[in-house]
Amino acid sequence: MISRLKKRIQAARGEIAPDLVLKGGRVINLFSCEILETDVAIYDGVIVGLGHYDGPQVIDVRGRYVCPGFIDGHVHIESSMLSPQELSKAMLPMGTTTIVADPHEIANVMGEKGIRYILDSSEGLPVDIYVMLPSCVPATDLETSGAKLSSEDLVDFKDEPRVLGLAEMMNYPGVVSGVGPVLEKIAAFSDSIIDGHAPLLSGKDLNAYMTTGICSDHECSLFEEAKEKLRLGMHIMIREGTQAKNLRTLLPVVSASTVRQCMLVTDDLHPHDLLQRGHLNHLLDMAIEQGLDPISAILMVTRNTAQYFGLKDLGAIAPGYRADILILSSLRPVKVEMVFKRGKKVVEQGQFNYKSPHVNSPDNLSSMHIKPYGPDAFVIPQHGNRVRVIGLICGQILTKSTTAAALVKDGVVVSDLEQDIIKIAVVERHRATGNIGLGFVQGFGLKQGALATSMAHDSHNIVCVGCIDHDIHVAVKAVETMRGGLAAVRDGKVLAQLPLPIGGLLSDRPLHEVARGWEEMRRVARDLGCKLDEPFMALSFLALPVIPELRVTDRGLVDVKRFQHVPLFIS
């Protein structure tokens, strides 16, 4: 190491030639917040100097911008439906060189084996994948997950070189109430970064939540909510993903005095969005279009994120920093021309020029252990005249808790298509318990058929919405037969399906194939009358019992504000 440091020093001083010189570019300086025309010298994968340099390899970048690689500080790989290897191939041409992943989804399916899969399969990829350990497996005791991870289980991963801390603490009621096992996890990672997840939490409960050392939140959906959390010292991750879109609402919170406490993240981004719109480059375009100056926007996907996570050699163009560098031909919009990873050019004009290590897809990460069931398992006998209904909110993962008159035929409650109220079912798939939670949801617009998926946050049981019980049964059975995936059904016939064989969450196919399959699923959903842009994304969040107000798990309806199960019928 000492000899390498000496050579870096020599290259910085001009005593030996650097490996690469980026000549005359417009360097985005994130310390002084200005743009400087200068050379960038790289040696041994590290930036060794700014100034005038020459060497055996010179790339003329005059007139173009030299920028640090983008960093996504909160992303669930599973939502992309891509393996880490395929995801890195997709993201790198978009300028993303580092992500911080929370493998919460696959951990809820496969426990420690799922975390190990993410770590092993992301080793040596051109996009550095760091991991925050999932804090809530299961997310709550209101559902059945495939695994349970204690503080002791998580500590076993703590010394992994790419593990940074404890991921989003979703069980905010457990934190505020001082629940023992929840606090044990926080205490075990008190010397690490601990991410938060506290939608609409405010006042003294927010104080209580933050006093444990939790120091970020990506769940803000209101300007005043973000402002309150900023004032208390929270780092705000402004999220713009496929389903949760908060950037336009929250961007006004960013000012000269608050910008260094803010990040842009995607959280959950599905494959077609990644293919059609991009990744953090798209968020930058949105922020700049909304009036944020480009340097402030770039801070929020580079240095701010690196500093928050303690990645001290990432996020800037300066001596001693890792040579993860982008050459941008434009800032309005952001256009990535070249990508350098540790000083090696890996992308030029959108072409991926890096040979990723071969990773064998695991054959033991599927979980489909379901007690036999028939169409009658989805029948709801009448036990009252009014039912609770989950109300969708456009563009949000929040829901409303509403009520409606039960539509009854032959003594059973059925979907009320005139009121846009259809049945929803969650079938437990991990432990063959036979649990099937049933309810109703309003806002899909579905006129016929059924839609089902094994991506159902957070325990990822099979969730299905449908107009009639027979189609619900066929759709759930199709997902089970694929050992995970998405299915659309009409009149008992499977119209389209997308297999996700890795844990029922991920494909082993490249982005364009997965995106094409996803688009086909969306098209068929529209043909069935669905009016949502992202029906399967919306569906996947309806089983998440930590986001207000009303949800459904395999064990029944959940009032998230009260954090308890509630009956479907209102007496």
Per-residue pLDDT, 367 = 75
Domain boundary among 278, 293, 313: 313
Mean pLDDT taken over the chain = 95
End-to-end CA distance of the chain: 73
Q: What is the pLDDT of residue 358?
A: 64
For residue 62, the model assigns a pLDDT of: 97
Task: Confirm whether 288 is domain-assigned.
Answer: yes
Give residue 37's pLDDT.
98
Co-location of 214 and 104 in the same domain = yes
Regarding whether 267 and 412 lie in a shared domain, the answer is no
* Cα dihedral across residues 164, 169, 175, 179: positive or negative: negative
> What CA–CA distance (Å, rounded) separates 262 from 249?
14
Distance from chain centroid for Cα 138: 17
pLDDT at position 398 over 90: no
Where is the domain boundary, 298, 313, 328?
313
Say which residues have a Cβ less than 8 Å from residue 463's Cβ, sequence separation at least 6: 424, 425, 426, 427, 452, 453, 456, 539, 540, 542, 543, 552
Distance between CA 52 and CA 41 in Å, rounded? 9
Query: Alpha carbon 45 to chain centroid distance?
Result: 29
Distances (CA, A) of 78 to 6, 375, 500, 503, 504: 42, 30, 10, 9, 10
Residues 308 and 396 in one domain: no
pLDDT tens by residue, 304-345: 999 999 999 999 999 999 999 999 999 999 999 999 999 999
Q: What is the pLDDT of residue 362?
A: 57
Asked if residue 440 and residue 561 are part of one domain, the reply reads yes
Q: Residue 114, Cα to own-chain centre: how many angstroms? A: 16
Q: Maximum Cα–Cα distance for the chain, whole Å?
A: 89
- 411 and 288 in a common domain: no
- Please give the pLDDT value at position 363: 58
Structure tokens at 440: 């109703």
Domain count, the chain: 2
Answer yes or no: are the C-beta atoms of 94 and 275 closer than 8 Å: no
Report residue 86 as tokens.
């395929």
The predicted structure's pLDDT at residue 349: 85
**By the 8 A CB rule, do 71 and 315 touch?**
yes
Residue 571: per-residue pLDDT: 72
Q: Check which CATH number belongs to the domain holding 289 and give it.
A: 3.20.20.140
Residues 287 and 419 in one domain: no
pLDDT band of residue 65 (cuts 50, 70, 90) is very high
Does 395 share its domain with 250?
Answer: no
Helix (H) or strand (E) holding 341: strand 334-341
| Residue 355 lies inside a defined structural domain of this protein | no
| Domain shared by 286 and 433, yes or no | no
Cβ contact 498:521 at 8 Å: yes
Regarding whether 302 and 383 lie in a shared domain, the answer is no
Instruction: Give domain status of residue 553, yes or no.
Output: yes
- For residues 434 and 561, membership in a common domain is answered with yes
Q: For 445-496, what is each residue's pLDDT tens digit?
A: 999 999 999 999 889 999 999 999 999 999 999 999 999 999 999 999 999 9
Last residue of a domain, which of 282, 313, 344? 313
Residue 229 structural domain: 70-313
Q: Which residues of 122-160 are buried (b: 16+ CB within 10 A; e: fewer)?
A: beebbbbbbbbbbbbbbbbebbbbbbebebebbeebeee
What percent of the chain stands above pLDDT 90?
Answer: 89
pLDDT tens digits along 171-192: 888 999 999 999 999 999 999 9
Same domain, 295 and 403: no
| Within-domain flag for 401 | yes
Residue 363 burial (10 A CB sphere; 0-12, 13-18, 19+): exposed
Q: Which residues contact 504 (CB under 8 A, 6 or more apart)?
A: 109, 366, 367, 368, 429, 454, 455, 460, 479, 483, 484, 485
Contact 47, 53 (CB under 8 A): no
Q: Let me know if residue 431 belongs to a domain.
A: yes
pLDDT in tens, 78-136: 999 999 999 999 999 999 999 999 999 999 999 999 999 999 999 999 999 999 999 99
**How large is the average pLDDT for residues 146-163?**
96
Q: What is the pLDDT of residue 214?
A: 97
What would the pLDDT profile of 338-365 be if each residue is shown by its tens digit?
999 999 999 998 887 777 666 665 556 6
- Residues 434 and 294 grouped into a single domain: no
| pLDDT tens for each residue of 525-546 | 999 999 998 899 899 999 999 8
**pLDDT at res. 171:** 87
- Residue whose structure tokens are 């029922």: 504
Mean pLDDT is lowest, of 40-49, 266-275, 441-450, for 266-275
Answer yes or no: is 47 within a domain. Answer: no
Q: Is residue 380 part of a domain?
A: yes
Closest to 335 measured CA to CA, from 272, 377, 285: 285
Letter string b/e over residues 53-72, b meaning 16 or more CB atoms within 10 A of that residue's CB:
bebeeebebeebbbbbbbbb
Is pLDDT at 565 greater than 80 in this prediction?
yes
| Residue 357 domain-assigned (yes or no) | no
| DSSP bridge pairs for 344 | 341
Nearest CA-CA partner of 454 in 499, 511, 508: 499
Q: Average pLDDT for residues 239-268, to the nearest whole number? A: 94
Helices (H), 421-510: 469-481
